[in-house]
A and B are shown apart, each in its own frame.
Chain A
């Protein structure tokens, strides 16, 4: 299994609070991705990174920001959580553009 972990695994927070999710890899892969998974929508890309300090937006980036200051960590921040951001969040990694992705175990976030 690829060395990829997510923390926390479960979180309940209140509307308006900031939340940061962490993705950590031990594979030294260049690409890292944040997705959200919701019933009826499948996996949707929030943001991704193609190197340290290099990030780009996905299709559902509004309300989210990311940072990658070192290869192994990719942080997803919800500046002010809303109920519409209740979801399961998956991180994924891959070595290069023509490789398959490896997924983390997911983080279940509930915003009340």
Chain B
């Protein structure tokens, strides 16, 4: 079993829809990360959080430490949000990555 599991693996939605991507982990962590990777592109850090909730523009990330679960929400989704979203957790000096969720927003 992977230490970091994301769902769904793939998601297609219409422009304007509210998007939720989920992440569950099975190990003790010091922080959780959400990253974004556009097709053929580099990897960008969106959030690092260890408790509660963070918001940046239309993106919201939440974490429940007791449940070992995090969600990434995108409000008013737009085609430019189409990318792979990666959940990762910090454990000691290392970061363990999920396999990513491929999001496609249709205009």
By a beta-carbon cutoff of 8 Å, the part of chain A in contact with chain B is 31, 33, 40-45, 48, 50, 56, 58, 90, 92, 97-106
Interface stretch of the complex, out of B10-18, B19-27, B65-73, B93-101: B93-101
**A90 neighbours in B (Cβ, 8 Å):** 43
Distance in angstroms between the alpha carbons of A40 and B95 in the assembled complex: 18
B30 A98 Cβ-Cβ under 8 A: yes
- Any chain A CB within 8 A of the CB of B59? no
B93 A31 Cβ-Cβ under 8 A: yes
Distance in angstroms between the alpha carbons of A105 and B98 in the assembled complex: 20
Distance in angstroms between the alpha carbons of A64 and B102 in the assembled complex: 29
**A105 neighbours in B (Cβ, 8 Å):** 42
- Any chain A CB within 8 A of the CB of B86? yes
Select from chain B the residue with minimum beta-carbon distance to A40.
Answer: B99
**A101 neighbours in B (Cβ, 8 Å):** 33, 45, 95
- Any chain A CB within 8 A of the CB of B83? no
**A42 neighbours in B (Cβ, 8 Å):** 86, 97-100
Give the A-B contact count at a CB cut-off of 8 A.
46
Select from chain A the residue with minimum beta-carbon distance to B87.
Answer: A42
B94 A45 Cβ-Cβ under 8 A: yes
Question: Top 9 nearest A-B pairs by Cβ distance?
Answer: A42-B99, A103-B43, A43-B97, A100-B48, A100-B45, A42-B97, A105-B42, A97-B93, A42-B100
A98 B31 Cβ-Cβ under 8 A: yes
**B97 neighbours in A (Cβ, 8 Å):** 42-44
Could you pull out 29 A-B pairs where Cβ atoms are within 8 angstroms? A31-B93, A40-B99, A41-B99, A42-B86, A42-B97, A42-B100, A43-B43, A43-B86, A43-B88, A43-B97, A44-B97, A45-B94, A50-B93, A56-B93, A90-B43, A97-B30, A97-B93, A98-B30, A98-B31, A98-B90, A99-B48, A101-B45, A102-B45, A103-B42, A103-B44, A103-B45, A104-B42, A106-B42, A106-B43
**A56 neighbours in B (Cβ, 8 Å):** 93
**A102 neighbours in B (Cβ, 8 Å):** 45
